[in-house]
């Protein structure tokens, strides 16, 4: 996803500190979306050992659910909650009816099933909503920008960064402090042992899958006002979420967070300085990290 740049002027551009700071904020907001998306992917992989090739598809569904809910009830916040809940339930339905049958087989089959879903669903969305992009408005209280001296602070992007921080904090507390979080962490380490303790692991997997899908849907829902909501908007995001978790280390939440923030800054600054290279820079960053630290920044030894 190209970062929106306010400074796409012709000719010479002066790099003042305001512009740099501005671009940092842009990068943080973009990074926030990457973080939400990639942490969901990472949870699903860590717990279920399934590489969710349909992750971007659920991101897209989040944006469309947001659009539908807002056009029905007219409120941004109700829409946001409704979008996350509806898409998580779709995810749970998929997990319980189809994905569950493939646990215990070769790693490739669940991956391919998700891939098939990622081809199937965008076409359904095309059929229902058409090819033309949908517009989701910014909520009225977050429109425009506030000014601090010469510095422009776009409210919605600040909101994204705060939201990401809150979600990460909630996720951390959920994983560390609640009993279900503890079970999820234990099942990530050793599912057989957790099963032996008399815990219904199959239900834990459903919860974990829902959680991951919910994060993808949240990312899509909050990204909807900033990007064009089209049926294929998720395809590139799947790949970019992969890049984030490769950089951060698969299965590590901290890695997903750091990787997402790094990638946000890279995209933001490259699209300011060399717009042609903004898409390529994502993958070059990944290649560089792989050369320097093959298992990713926070990757654990042996979990490759």
Partner 1 sequence: MSAKQNTQEVTAYKPYSWQAILEFRAMWVLLALGLVLPFVISKPLATEIMIYALFALAFNLMLGHTGIISFGHAGYLGAGAYAGAMVVYYGGVGVWVSLLAAMAGGTVIAVLIGLLAVKRKGAYFAMISLAIAQMLYFLALSPFKRWTDGEDSLKLPPLSVDFPFHIDLSDQLSLYYFVFVIVALAVLVQWRILSSPFGHALKGIRENEDRIRACGFNITRIKFLSIVYSGLFSGLAGGLLAIYLGAASITILFWMTSGIVVMQTVLGGTHTFMGPFIGTAVFLYLRNAISNYTDRWEMWVGAMFMALILLFPEGIWGTVMQKIGERRRPSAS
144 binds partner 1 (CB under 8 A): no
CA distance 304 to 299: 8
> If we measure between CA atoms, which residue out of 193, 190, 172 comes closest to residue 181?
172
CA dihedral in degrees (266, 241, 122, 111; nearest 10)?
150
Nearest distance, CB of residue 94 and partner 1, angstroms: 10
Applying CB under 8 A, which of residues 71, 146, 290, 300 lies at the interface with partner 1?
Answer: 290
Question: Exposure pattern of 260-290 as b/e (b: 16+ CB <10 Å)?
Answer: bbbbbbbbbbbbbeeeeebeebbeebbeebe
121 near partner 1 (CB under 8 A): yes
Report the phi/psi class of residue 32: left, alpha or beta, with left for phi > 0 and alpha for psi in -120 to 50: alpha
The smaller minimum CB distance to partner 1, of residues 93 and 124, is found at 124
Show the 3-state SS of 16-51: CHHHHHHHHHHHHHHHHHHHHHHHHHHHHHHHHCCC
- Scanning 26-34, 119-127, 209-217, 261-269 for contacts with partner 1 by CB under 8 A, the matching segment is 119-127
Q: Out of 183, 221, 246, 263, point to the residue binding partner 1 (CB under 8 A).
A: 246
Q: Is 77 in the site for partner 1 (CB under 8 A)?
A: no
Among 166, 176, 294, 300, binds partner 1 (CB under 8 A): 294
Is the separation of the CB atoms in 18 and 151 below 8 Å? yes
Q: According to the binding rule CB under 8 A, does residue 298 interact with partner 1?
A: no
What's the angle, vertex CA 293, arms to CA 263 and CA 240, rounded to 5? 30
Does the protein bind partner 1 through residue 45 (CB under 8 A)? yes
Q: Is 56 in the site for partner 1 (CB under 8 A)?
A: no
Using the rule CB under 8 A, which residue among 91, 118, 154, 259 binds partner 1?
Answer: 118
277 binds partner 1 (CB under 8 A): yes
Contact residues toward partner 1 (CB under 8 A) are 45, 51, 98, 101-102, 105, 107-109, 111-113, 115-124, 127, 235-236, 239, 242-243, 245-246, 250, 276-277, 279-280, 282-284, 286-287, 290-291, 294, 304
């Amino acid at each position: 996803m190209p970062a929106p740049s306010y400074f796409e002027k012709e000719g010479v551009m002066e790099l003042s500190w305001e512009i740099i700071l501005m671009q940092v904020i842009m990068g943080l907001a973009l990074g926030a979306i990457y973080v939400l998306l990639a942490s969901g992917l990472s949870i699903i992989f860590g717990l279920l050992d399934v590489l969710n090739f349909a992750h971007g598809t659920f991101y897209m569904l989040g944006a469309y659910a947001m659009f539908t809910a807002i056009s029905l009830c007219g409120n941004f916040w109700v829409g946001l909650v409704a979008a996350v809940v509806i898409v998580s339930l779709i995810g749970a339905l998929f997990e319980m009816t189809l994905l569950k049958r493939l646990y215990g087989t070769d790693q490739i089959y669940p991956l391919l099933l998700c891939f098939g879903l990622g081809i199937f669903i965008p076409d359904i969305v095309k059929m229902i909503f058409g090819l033309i992009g949908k517009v989701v408005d910014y909520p009225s209280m977050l429109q425009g920008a506030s000014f601090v001296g010469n510095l422009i602070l776009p409210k919605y992007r600040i909101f994204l960064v705060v939201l990401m921080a809150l979600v990460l904090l909630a996720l951390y507390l959920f994983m560390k402090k609640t009993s279900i979080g503890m079970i999820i962490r234990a099942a990530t380490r050793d599912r057989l042992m957790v099963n032996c303790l008399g815990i219904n692991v199959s239900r834990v997997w459903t919860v974990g899958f829902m959680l991951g899908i919910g994060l993808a849907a949240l990312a899509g829902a909050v990204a909807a006002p900033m990007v064009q909501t089209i049926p294929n908007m998720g395809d590139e995001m799947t790949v970019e979420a992969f890049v984030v978790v490769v950089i951060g280390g698969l299965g590590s939440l901290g890695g997903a967070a750091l990787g997402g923030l790094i990638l946000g800054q890279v995209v933001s600054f490259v699209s300011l300085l060399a717009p042609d290279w903004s898409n390529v820079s994502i993958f070059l960053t990944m290649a560089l990290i792989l050369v320097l630290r093959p298992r990713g920044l926070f990757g654990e030894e042996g979990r490759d």
